[in-house]
Amino acid sequence: MVKRRITLTSQEMNEITKETTTLKTQLDLSNQRVDELENGLVVINKFINKKTKPKDVDKLCGAVQKLVDKAINPPVKAKAATALSH
């Protein structure tokens, strides 16, 4: 098996490094976003899985509304990251 050596210019290496950094940042933001949504689901799950009926339906509705707002309207930092990537 023949191995080929690839030589890159410093500009090409800088571009690759920049793209890698951008992808890592996007992945971190995506993971933070998933964590936010999962935390919202945990709050709702606590209301739903009570052995008795939820005594405060307003709190349940509020928690659902917050989760929907987060899912539909991402935080500013997530919007900024997507704007930078375009």
Q: What is the pLDDT of residues 29-69, one digit of tens each?
A: 888 888 888 888 887 777 777 665 656 777 778 888 888 88
Rg (CA), the chain: 22
Does residue 56 lie in a domain region?
yes
* Number of alpha carbons in the 13 Å side-chain half-sphere of residue 59: 10
- Asked if residues 38 and 4 have their Cβ atoms less than 8 Å apart, the reply is no
- Candidates 23, 42, 26; CA nearest to 80 is 26
Q: Is residue 43 part of a domain?
A: yes
Q: Which domain holds residue 61?
A: 20-85
Q: Is residue 79 part of a domain?
A: yes
Q: Is residue 41 part of a domain?
A: yes
Within-domain flag for 11: no
User: Among the residues of the chain, which ranges form H helices?
Assistant: 10-48, 57-72, 76-85
Residue 58 in any domain: the answer is yes
Task: Count the domains in the chain.
Answer: 1
pLDDT tops 60 at residue 79: no
